[in-house]
Structures are given as structure tokens and as C-alpha cells.
Amino acid sequence: MKINLEALLQQVDQRQVELIDLVERLIRFQTPAPPARNTEEAQQFVAAFLQDKGFVIDKWDVYPGDPNVVGVLKGSASDTYKSLIINGHMDVAEVSPDEAWETTPFTPIVRDGAIIGRGAADMKAGLAGALFATQLLHEAGIRLPGDLTFQSVIGEEIGEAGTLECCKRGYSADFAVVVDTSDLHIQGQGGVITGWITVKSKQTFHDATRRSMIHAGGKLFGASAIEKMVKLIQGLQDLERHWSVIKSYPDCPPGASTINPAVIEGGRHAAFIADECRLWITVHFYPNETHEQVAKEIEEHIRLVAAGDVWLRDNPPEFTWGGSSMIEDRGEIFPSLEVDPQHAAVRALIGAHERILNSQPIVDVSPTVTDGGWFGDAGIPAAIYGPGDLGNAHSVNEQVSIQQVVDFTKVMLQFIYEWGHTKK
């Protein structure tokens, strides 16, 4: 069987045109999110592809027009051999009408050793390479002893957590590889949570009463919610600086735990003192932290800031955390993911990378977030490993190196085979 595997690895080079065609085919499906609700045709293609390779298909709508697809290929000895999940998202970053693409974003171009098109780096090349690896195993008649599950999910770009829905549906394995953009690094990640801080007055005031609020002897106890929010923003900045001093994590740059005041909304119109102000924040935290933990730290600090202000003491801020969709409820959560370099699957992935590329892979922490955190949250050991770099993700004329896609496909082929033959 080892000789057959060597022959399959050679086929990745020999059939490179087919692999490129598969990447191009996926790019042609127009699946930007937002607006989302547009992955049905692409997901049906993946479902048919996997079904043709012997996978049992589970396809269900997470949202109308946005289904998840999970294919399960039962192993010949599932009880005694390790199982694997391969996971990737079908949605891609949004495209603005004024972006200066060389052609249309969903008309791929192959040139100068690269594939250009929206989603090339993030992350249809990863999906295509993993799909092609399963095709080669199927064509060779190789049946793994361990179970292989392939998840093509929706919503990653807008926090809709198709992967979380897979976990809720009961899909699990001994290890998961998220084939998202990592430049062939083996990565964990920090996490992200969004939140809304709301300051609201108990009553409204005409703008002509402002003098009575702010000048001596006015005797009107009131305030602008917008101006009071400024105090809370300053408090957030103080906490952010404090975190940068006391918190750290290996392979993360100093100060990677951040609190971004992303959007501010408030006031009615010019004839009112602003009676409400809402601040939308994005919080990045380290791989060894949880979103519940950082939300609690922020709430405790901001409540202390409010307690030091006479008006905020009487009109305390309110907090709303997370959400299931940046479209549906303007919020998201991406849990963090720690990678154990000594885990047997990570060692096997490192070994496959070393064998194919003749170099030791970098094991580090992604500066962004992926669906990988949902596996960690579910107690499933996981790592992020895929072609493409973040400099190209979401960019105009997004592209991915063909050689890197070929290398990735070989590594995944080697890893899937080896992990599927690893005894529990």
C-alpha cells in the first residue's frame, strides 16, 4: 500500500491541471458573504462530488440558501482506528462594486504560477486540495480503517458558525484539520467576541436645556449619552493597555489582546440631548482565554469606571455579547484554539509536511480567526493548515500559489492516509 501512496503523491503533480480546474470551478460559484444566502449551488456540487467518492451525505439549511454539507466515509475498522474531520467554509469575503479587479472577481485567471479570483486564498484552494486528495484515495480503491468526515460549511466570513452547527448536530472525531488560510503553517488561534455597550438616559431632554445641565446653578440632572460614552471608551483604552502589559502568549505579538471601538451609534436628532448611545466593540483574546472570561473582565472594569461618574452611577451601562450572525443580529463569537505540538495527529501532520516539502513546518498562532475555535470549544483536538496567505485573503485580485496548492494537496493526502491508519 505504501507503493500505491507514492504513486498517488506523484499523481498530484501529473494531474495538476485537474487540481487547478477544481479550484477554478469552486471560485466560479459566487458565494460572497455578505450578502450570503448564495451557497446552494456550490454546496450541491460538493455534495455530489463527495457522494461520488462513497461518502454518505448530510445536507441541511443553516439559513435559506446557505446549506451545510457533511460527507461521512465510514472506515473499515472504525472502532479501532482514528477518525478525522476535514473542514472548510464555502463562503468568501464580500466584493465592493468599486474594487479594481483585473476581470470579474469570480472569473478565475491562471497566470505566473498563481490562481487569481475571490476566494482563491480564503479558502477555496484549501477546499479543492482536500477534495482532490479524497478523489485520489477513492480512485486507488484505498479504504481507510478510520472514519473520514468532510465538512463544507457556510457563514465563516460573517460569524454564522456553520461549523458550530456541525458540532451541535453531533459530528465529532479524534482530530480535525481546518484547511483555511495559513500559508502552510500549522496553527492555533486567539478568539474574537463582539459586544454592544449601551448608555441610556432614563428620560429625554430638549436641546435647549443643555445650559441647565452643564452650568452652575442649572439644577437639571441630565447628560448627553454620547459624551458619557466617551468616558467609557477611555476606560476601554486603559484596560486594553493594561492587558498589553500583563498578558502574553507564545508566538503571539505583544499586545495582541485588543479592544476595538468599531461602531458608535447614538442620539435622535439635533433637537434632543442624546438620550442613548451604543458602542460596538470587537475584542481579540489569546488562545488560552475564553470569550466568557474577557467579557467578564470588560464588564467589571467598565462598571467601575461608571461608578466613578455621578450620572453613569445612576444610569449604568448595559452589555450585550456575541451573536450568531453579523447579518442577522450584528454579533459574532470565534472561540480560541490551542494546538498541542505533541498531539499524535499534529506530529503526523508535521511529519507529512516534512516529507513532502523537505522542511520543518512552522507551528504558531494565526493572527486572525477561523472556525477552528469551534472544535476546541467542542473538545475536539484541531489545527488550522491550508494554502494561501493573509496578505491575499479578502484582497483585490486575491490569489494563491499553484505550487503551494500542489504541496498542500500532497501533505493532506499523506496525512489523511496515515492518520486513518493510526490505531486508537
- Domain-embedded: residue 108: yes
Domain assignment of residue 326, yes or no? no
Whether residue 47 lies inside any domain: the answer is: yes
Q: Of 294, 321, 348, which closes a domain?
A: 321
315 and 348 housed in the same domain:
no
Query: Does 147 reside within a domain?
Result: yes
Q: How confident is the model at residue 1 (pLDDT cuts 50, 70, 90)?
A: very low
Looking at the fold, whether 254 and 280 belong to one and the same domain comes out as yes
State the burial class of residue 276 (Cβ atoms within 10 Å of its Cβ: 0-12, 13-18, 19+). middle
Q: What is the pLDDT of residues 256-292, one digit of tens each?
A: 999 999 999 999 999 999 999 999 999 999 999 999 9
Between the two ends of the chain, the Cα-to-Cα distance in Å is 20
Q: Within this chain, do residues 206 and 119 fall inside the same structural domain, yes or no? A: no
What is the distance between the alpha carbons of residues 99 and 225, in angstroms, rounded to a whole number? 37
Q: Is the C-alpha dihedral spanning 19, 23, 28, 29 positive or negative?
A: positive
- The pTM score is 0.94
Q: Residue 4's pLDDT band (boundaries 50, 70, 90)?
A: confident
For residues 225-233, give the mean pLDDT.
98
Q: Look up residue 303 and give its three cell numbers.
A: 462598571
State which of 321, 346, 373 marks the end of a domain.
321
Q: Give the CATH number for residue 95.
A: 3.40.630.10
Q: Which of 66, 91, 174, 371 is catalytic?
A: 91
Domain shared by 176 and 202, yes or no: no
Per-residue pLDDT tens for 377-411? Answer: 999 999 999 999 999 999 999 999 999 999 999 99
Q: Which CATH number covers residue 226? A: 3.30.70.360
| Within a domain: 111 | yes
Average pLDDT (35-47) is: 98
* Nearest of 37, 105, 69 to residue 327 by alpha carbon: 37
180 contacts 119 by C-beta, under 8 angstroms: no
> What CA–CA distances, in Å, run from 107 to 41, 53, 101, 396?
16, 27, 10, 13
> Are 10 and 95 within one domain?
yes
Contacts of 361 (CB under 8 A, 6+ apart): 184, 185, 186, 349, 350, 353, 354
Instruction: Give the model's pLDDT for residue 322.
Output: 97
Domain co-membership, 267 together with 283: yes
Q: DSSP states of 138-198 as a string?
A: HHTT---SS-EEEEEE--GGGT--HHHHHHHTT---SEEEE--S-TT-EEEE-EEEEEEEE
Q: Are residues 186 and 197 in the same domain?
A: no
Q: Is residue 332 part of a domain?
A: no
Average pLDDT score over the chain: 97
Q: Is the domain of 283 the same as that of 395?
A: no
Do residue 96 and residue 14 come from a single domain? yes
297, 321, 345 - which closes a domain: 321
Residue 255 dihedral angles phi and psi, to the nearest 5°: 80, 20
* Domain shared by 281 and 354, yes or no: no
Whole-number pLDDT of residue 177: 98
From the list 53, 48, 56, 76, the residue with the least C-alpha distance to 137 is: 53
Residue for grid cell 500559508: 183
Same structural domain for residues 149 and 273? no
Length of the chain: 424
The whole-angstrom separation of Cα 368 and Cα 334 is 10
Q: What percent of the chain has pLDDT over 90?
A: 97
Give the structural domain span for 255: 191-321
pLDDT at 235 over 90: yes
**400 occurs within a structural domain:** yes
Q: For 25-49, b where at least 16 C-beta lie within 10 A, e where not — what string?
A: ebbbbbbbbeebbbbbebbebbbeb
Q: Do residue 94 and residue 177 come from a single domain? A: yes
In a domain, 330, yes or no: no
Residue 91 annotated in active site: yes
Where is 286: in which H helix or E strand? none
State the Cα angle at 331 between 325 and 332, rounded to 5°: 70
| Location of C-alpha cell 439559513 | 63
Locate 293 and state its grid cell. Answer: 472570561
Q: How many structural domains are present in the chain? A: 2
CA distance 158 to 368: 14
State how far the Cα of 113 lies from the Cα of 135, in Å rounded to an integer: 23
pLDDT over 80 (residue 3): no
Is the sign of the CA dihedral 357, 360, 365, 367 positive or negative? Answer: negative
**Which one is catalytic: 156, 160, 389, 407?**
156
